[in-house]
Amino acid sequence: MSPRAWAAFATMSVLWGIPYLFIKVAVDDGVPPAFVAWARVVLAALVLLPLAWRARALGSLRGRGRWLLAYAVVEISIPFPLIAFGETHVSSSTTAIAIATVPLIASLLALRFAPGERLTGRRLAGMLLGFGGVAALVGIDVSGSADELLGIAAIVAAAAGYACGPLIMSRGLNDLDGRATMGVSLALAALVLTPLAALDPPTEVPPTGAIAAIVVLGIVCTAAAFVAFAVLVRTAGPSRAVIITYVNPVIALALGVALLGEQPGAGALVGLLLILLGSWLSTDGRLPPPVERWLAAGAAR
Protein backbone atom coordinates (compact mmCIF):
# COMPACT_ATOMS: atom_id res chain seq x y z
CA MET A 1 0.00 0.00 0.00
CA SER A 2 1.68 3.17 -1.24
CA PRO A 3 0.94 6.63 0.21
CA ARG A 4 -1.20 7.28 -2.86
CA ALA A 5 -3.19 4.12 -2.15
CA TRP A 6 -3.69 5.12 1.50
CA ALA A 7 -4.85 8.58 0.41
CA ALA A 8 -7.35 7.01 -1.99
CA PHE A 9 -8.47 4.63 0.78
CA ALA A 10 -9.10 7.48 3.22
CA THR A 11 -10.92 9.51 0.58
CA MET A 12 -13.13 6.59 -0.41
CA SER A 13 -13.92 5.73 3.20
CA VAL A 14 -15.49 9.17 3.60
CA LEU A 15 -16.99 9.65 0.14
CA TRP A 16 -18.74 6.30 0.20
CA GLY A 17 -19.74 6.64 3.85
CA ILE A 18 -21.96 9.67 3.21
CA PRO A 19 -24.12 8.69 0.17
CA TYR A 20 -26.66 6.74 2.24
CA LEU A 21 -27.54 9.90 4.15
CA PHE A 22 -28.17 11.88 0.96
CA ILE A 23 -30.04 9.03 -0.74
CA LYS A 24 -32.33 8.84 2.29
CA VAL A 25 -32.94 12.60 2.16
CA ALA A 26 -33.86 12.42 -1.54
CA VAL A 27 -36.20 9.41 -1.37
CA ASP A 28 -37.86 10.62 1.83
CA ASP A 29 -38.62 13.87 -0.01
CA GLY A 30 -40.53 11.88 -2.61
CA VAL A 31 -37.98 11.51 -5.41
CA PRO A 32 -38.41 8.06 -7.02
CA PRO A 33 -35.45 5.71 -6.44
CA ALA A 34 -34.75 5.11 -10.14
CA PHE A 35 -34.72 8.85 -10.78
CA VAL A 36 -32.31 9.44 -7.88
CA ALA A 37 -29.94 6.85 -9.36
CA TRP A 38 -30.27 8.23 -12.89
CA ALA A 39 -29.80 11.87 -11.87
CA ARG A 40 -26.62 11.23 -9.84
CA VAL A 41 -25.15 9.16 -12.68
CA VAL A 42 -25.92 11.81 -15.31
CA LEU A 43 -24.39 14.57 -13.17
CA ALA A 44 -21.25 12.53 -12.56
CA ALA A 45 -20.88 11.71 -16.27
CA LEU A 46 -21.24 15.39 -17.17
CA VAL A 47 -18.36 16.16 -14.80
CA LEU A 48 -15.98 13.37 -15.77
CA LEU A 49 -16.41 13.11 -19.54
CA PRO A 50 -15.18 16.70 -20.26
CA LEU A 51 -12.22 16.14 -17.94
CA ALA A 52 -11.33 12.91 -19.77
CA TRP A 53 -11.74 14.61 -23.15
CA ARG A 54 -9.49 17.54 -22.16
CA ALA A 55 -6.88 15.04 -20.95
CA ARG A 56 -7.16 13.20 -24.31
CA ALA A 57 -7.73 9.98 -22.40
CA LEU A 58 -10.85 8.73 -24.17
CA GLY A 59 -8.86 7.18 -27.02
CA SER A 60 -7.31 4.70 -24.60
CA LEU A 61 -10.69 3.01 -24.18
CA ARG A 62 -10.75 1.57 -27.70
CA GLY A 63 -11.35 -2.16 -27.65
CA ARG A 64 -12.62 -2.14 -24.04
CA GLY A 65 -16.30 -1.67 -24.78
CA ARG A 66 -17.51 -4.97 -23.33
CA TRP A 67 -15.54 -4.43 -20.11
CA LEU A 68 -16.89 -0.89 -19.77
CA LEU A 69 -20.46 -2.04 -20.31
CA ALA A 70 -20.06 -4.91 -17.85
CA TYR A 71 -18.65 -2.57 -15.23
CA ALA A 72 -21.36 0.04 -15.87
CA VAL A 73 -24.14 -2.49 -15.40
CA VAL A 74 -22.71 -4.46 -12.47
CA GLU A 75 -21.19 -1.61 -10.43
CA ILE A 76 -23.63 1.22 -11.24
CA SER A 77 -26.84 0.45 -13.13
CA ILE A 78 -27.94 -2.38 -10.85
CA PRO A 79 -26.72 -1.30 -7.38
CA PHE A 80 -27.63 2.40 -7.49
CA PRO A 81 -31.41 2.03 -7.98
CA LEU A 82 -31.50 -1.03 -5.69
CA ILE A 83 -29.93 0.95 -2.84
CA ALA A 84 -32.28 3.90 -3.37
CA PHE A 85 -35.23 1.50 -3.45
CA GLY A 86 -33.97 -0.23 -0.32
CA GLU A 87 -33.78 3.09 1.50
CA THR A 88 -37.49 3.64 0.95
CA HIS A 89 -37.97 0.72 3.37
CA VAL A 90 -35.03 0.90 5.81
CA SER A 91 -32.85 3.54 7.45
CA SER A 92 -29.62 4.87 5.98
CA SER A 93 -27.59 3.26 8.78
CA THR A 94 -29.19 -0.15 8.17
CA THR A 95 -28.39 0.25 4.49
CA ALA A 96 -24.73 0.89 5.21
CA ILE A 97 -24.55 -2.12 7.52
CA ALA A 98 -26.01 -4.38 4.83
CA ILE A 99 -23.57 -2.94 2.26
CA ALA A 100 -20.75 -3.96 4.62
CA THR A 101 -21.25 -7.52 3.36
CA VAL A 102 -19.30 -6.60 0.21
CA PRO A 103 -15.98 -8.10 1.43
CA LEU A 104 -17.76 -11.32 2.41
CA ILE A 105 -19.31 -11.65 -1.04
CA ALA A 106 -15.99 -10.71 -2.66
CA SER A 107 -14.26 -13.47 -0.69
CA LEU A 108 -16.79 -16.01 -1.95
CA LEU A 109 -16.29 -14.81 -5.53
CA ALA A 110 -12.51 -14.97 -5.14
CA LEU A 111 -12.71 -18.63 -4.18
CA ARG A 112 -14.43 -19.31 -7.49
CA PHE A 113 -12.69 -16.94 -9.86
CA ALA A 114 -9.29 -16.00 -8.39
CA PRO A 115 -6.49 -18.55 -9.02
CA GLY A 116 -4.75 -19.77 -5.87
CA GLU A 117 -7.47 -18.65 -3.44
CA ARG A 118 -8.28 -21.32 -0.83
CA LEU A 119 -10.90 -21.63 1.88
CA THR A 120 -8.87 -21.69 5.09
CA GLY A 121 -10.36 -22.21 8.51
CA ARG A 122 -9.87 -18.52 9.30
CA ARG A 123 -11.70 -17.40 6.17
CA LEU A 124 -14.53 -19.87 6.72
CA ALA A 125 -14.96 -18.63 10.30
CA GLY A 126 -15.00 -15.05 9.00
CA MET A 127 -17.68 -15.82 6.43
CA LEU A 128 -19.84 -17.59 9.00
CA LEU A 129 -19.47 -14.69 11.45
CA GLY A 130 -20.22 -12.11 8.77
CA PHE A 131 -23.34 -13.79 7.51
CA GLY A 132 -24.30 -14.40 11.14
CA GLY A 133 -24.23 -10.62 11.46
CA VAL A 134 -26.66 -10.33 8.55
CA ALA A 135 -28.87 -12.87 10.28
CA ALA A 136 -28.74 -10.85 13.51
CA LEU A 137 -29.65 -7.66 11.65
CA VAL A 138 -32.56 -9.30 9.87
CA GLY A 139 -33.73 -11.57 12.68
CA ILE A 140 -33.69 -9.01 15.51
CA ASP A 141 -34.36 -5.62 13.94
CA VAL A 142 -36.49 -6.33 10.86
CA SER A 143 -38.07 -9.68 11.68
CA GLY A 144 -41.74 -9.70 10.79
CA SER A 145 -41.59 -6.59 8.58
CA ALA A 146 -42.09 -7.57 4.95
CA ASP A 147 -41.20 -4.05 3.75
CA GLU A 148 -37.92 -3.98 5.64
CA LEU A 149 -37.02 -7.50 4.51
CA LEU A 150 -37.61 -6.41 0.91
CA GLY A 151 -35.37 -3.39 1.47
CA ILE A 152 -32.58 -5.51 2.99
CA ALA A 153 -32.80 -7.99 0.09
CA ALA A 154 -32.43 -5.17 -2.44
CA ILE A 155 -29.41 -3.76 -0.62
CA VAL A 156 -27.65 -7.12 -0.31
CA ALA A 157 -28.20 -7.64 -4.05
CA ALA A 158 -26.56 -4.25 -4.61
CA ALA A 159 -23.66 -5.36 -2.40
CA ALA A 160 -23.14 -8.33 -4.71
CA GLY A 161 -22.77 -5.92 -7.62
CA TYR A 162 -20.27 -3.84 -5.66
CA ALA A 163 -18.27 -6.99 -4.94
CA CYS A 164 -18.11 -7.91 -8.64
CA GLY A 165 -17.16 -4.42 -9.84
CA PRO A 166 -13.52 -4.40 -8.65
CA LEU A 167 -12.93 -7.82 -10.21
CA ILE A 168 -14.16 -6.55 -13.59
CA MET A 169 -12.07 -3.40 -13.31
CA SER A 170 -8.96 -5.34 -12.31
CA ARG A 171 -9.26 -7.76 -15.24
CA GLY A 172 -10.20 -5.41 -18.06
CA LEU A 173 -9.85 -1.74 -17.09
CA ASN A 174 -7.02 -1.50 -14.58
CA ASP A 175 -4.49 0.15 -16.91
CA LEU A 176 -6.72 2.98 -18.12
CA ASP A 177 -7.21 6.59 -17.06
CA GLY A 178 -9.72 6.74 -14.20
CA ARG A 179 -11.53 9.79 -15.54
CA ALA A 180 -12.08 8.17 -18.93
CA THR A 181 -13.06 4.79 -17.49
CA MET A 182 -15.52 6.21 -15.01
CA GLY A 183 -16.86 8.93 -17.31
CA VAL A 184 -17.76 6.46 -20.05
CA SER A 185 -19.00 3.84 -17.56
CA LEU A 186 -21.29 6.43 -15.98
CA ALA A 187 -22.53 7.55 -19.40
CA LEU A 188 -23.32 3.94 -20.31
CA ALA A 189 -25.04 3.45 -16.97
CA ALA A 190 -27.09 6.60 -17.57
CA LEU A 191 -28.30 5.15 -20.89
CA VAL A 192 -29.24 1.89 -19.19
CA LEU A 193 -31.10 3.71 -16.41
CA THR A 194 -32.93 6.22 -18.65
CA PRO A 195 -35.91 3.96 -19.50
CA LEU A 196 -36.27 3.00 -15.83
CA ALA A 197 -36.22 6.64 -14.72
CA ALA A 198 -38.66 7.60 -17.48
CA LEU A 199 -41.17 5.07 -16.21
CA ASP A 200 -41.32 6.75 -12.78
CA PRO A 201 -40.33 10.44 -12.96
CA PRO A 202 -41.02 12.92 -10.15
CA THR A 203 -44.59 14.19 -10.26
CA GLU A 204 -43.50 17.66 -9.13
CA VAL A 205 -40.33 19.68 -8.68
CA PRO A 206 -38.41 18.09 -5.78
CA PRO A 207 -37.78 20.17 -2.65
CA THR A 208 -34.54 22.14 -2.38
CA GLY A 209 -33.10 19.65 0.09
CA ALA A 210 -33.68 16.75 -2.29
CA ILE A 211 -32.11 18.63 -5.21
CA ALA A 212 -29.07 19.51 -3.09
CA ALA A 213 -28.78 15.87 -1.98
CA ILE A 214 -28.81 14.65 -5.59
CA VAL A 215 -26.18 17.23 -6.59
CA VAL A 216 -23.89 16.07 -3.76
CA LEU A 217 -24.51 12.44 -4.74
CA GLY A 218 -23.61 13.13 -8.37
CA ILE A 219 -20.59 15.39 -8.04
CA VAL A 220 -19.02 14.34 -4.73
CA CYS A 221 -20.17 10.81 -3.98
CA THR A 222 -20.07 9.58 -7.60
CA ALA A 223 -17.78 11.65 -9.86
CA ALA A 224 -15.04 12.34 -7.32
CA ALA A 225 -15.48 9.02 -5.54
CA PHE A 226 -15.26 6.84 -8.63
CA VAL A 227 -12.01 8.43 -9.71
CA ALA A 228 -10.58 7.84 -6.23
CA PHE A 229 -11.91 4.28 -6.40
CA ALA A 230 -10.15 3.63 -9.71
CA VAL A 231 -6.89 4.85 -8.17
CA LEU A 232 -7.49 2.63 -5.14
CA VAL A 233 -8.11 -0.52 -7.21
CA ARG A 234 -5.08 0.21 -9.41
CA THR A 235 -2.70 0.89 -6.52
CA ALA A 236 -4.00 -1.46 -3.82
CA GLY A 237 -5.72 -4.25 -5.76
CA PRO A 238 -9.40 -5.29 -5.83
CA SER A 239 -9.33 -7.34 -2.62
CA ARG A 240 -8.02 -4.43 -0.54
CA ALA A 241 -10.22 -1.94 -2.40
CA VAL A 242 -13.43 -3.44 -1.06
CA ILE A 243 -12.12 -3.19 2.53
CA ILE A 244 -13.31 0.45 2.51
CA THR A 245 -16.61 -1.12 3.58
CA TYR A 246 -15.04 -1.65 7.03
CA VAL A 247 -15.14 2.10 7.58
CA ASN A 248 -18.11 3.23 5.47
CA PRO A 249 -20.89 1.81 7.68
CA VAL A 250 -19.43 3.40 10.80
CA ILE A 251 -19.48 6.81 9.12
CA ALA A 252 -22.97 6.24 7.74
CA LEU A 253 -24.25 5.03 11.11
CA ALA A 254 -22.89 8.12 12.87
CA LEU A 255 -24.41 10.45 10.28
CA GLY A 256 -27.78 8.70 10.41
CA VAL A 257 -27.91 9.04 14.18
CA ALA A 258 -26.59 12.61 14.32
CA LEU A 259 -28.45 14.17 11.39
CA LEU A 260 -31.53 12.02 10.76
CA GLY A 261 -32.31 10.97 14.31
CA GLU A 262 -32.10 7.27 13.44
CA GLN A 263 -31.96 4.85 16.36
CA PRO A 264 -30.27 1.57 15.37
CA GLY A 265 -31.55 -1.42 17.34
CA ALA A 266 -29.59 -4.16 19.03
CA GLY A 267 -29.65 -6.25 15.86
CA ALA A 268 -28.03 -3.47 13.85
CA LEU A 269 -25.21 -2.96 16.33
CA VAL A 270 -24.54 -6.68 16.84
CA GLY A 271 -24.85 -7.25 13.10
CA LEU A 272 -22.38 -4.47 12.32
CA LEU A 273 -19.76 -5.85 14.70
CA LEU A 274 -20.13 -9.40 13.38
CA ILE A 275 -20.08 -8.29 9.73
CA LEU A 276 -16.96 -6.18 10.19
CA LEU A 277 -15.16 -8.91 12.15
CA GLY A 278 -16.21 -11.53 9.64
CA SER A 279 -15.13 -9.36 6.72
CA TRP A 280 -11.73 -8.82 8.31
CA LEU A 281 -11.21 -12.54 8.90
CA SER A 282 -12.53 -13.56 5.49
CA THR A 283 -9.97 -11.30 3.80
CA ASP A 284 -7.21 -13.05 5.80
CA GLY A 285 -7.22 -10.48 8.59
CA ARG A 286 -4.77 -8.10 6.94
CA LEU A 287 -3.87 -5.09 9.06
CA PRO A 288 -2.53 -1.85 7.57
CA PRO A 289 1.27 -1.71 7.97
CA PRO A 290 1.17 1.39 10.25
CA VAL A 291 -1.14 -0.48 12.64
CA GLU A 292 1.11 -3.54 12.58
CA ARG A 293 4.15 -1.39 13.37
CA TRP A 294 2.29 0.33 16.21
CA LEU A 295 1.29 -3.01 17.72
CA ALA A 296 4.85 -4.32 17.36
CA ALA A 297 6.21 -1.23 19.09
CA GLY A 298 3.69 -1.64 21.89
CA ALA A 299 4.68 -5.29 22.37
CA ALA A 300 8.37 -4.33 22.50
CA ARG A 301 7.68 -1.83 25.28
Rounded to 5°, angle at Cα 289 from 287 and 293? 105
- 102-136 tens-digit pLDDT: 877 877 887 777 666 666 777 778 778 877 887 78
Average pLDDT, the chain: 82
Domain locations along the chain: 3-119+145-248
User: pLDDT per residue over 52-75, tens digit each?
Assistant: 898 888 888 888 889 999 999 999
pLDDT in tens, 7-34: 777 777 788 789 999 999 999 999 999 9
Q: Which helix (H) or strand (E) holds 113?
A: helix 102-113
Taking 70 as the pLDDT cut, the residues of the chain under it are 1-2, 114-119, 141-144, 230, 236-246, 282-301
> Model-level pTM?
0.82
- Comparing CA positions, the residue from 299, 267, 249 lying closest to residue 103 is 249
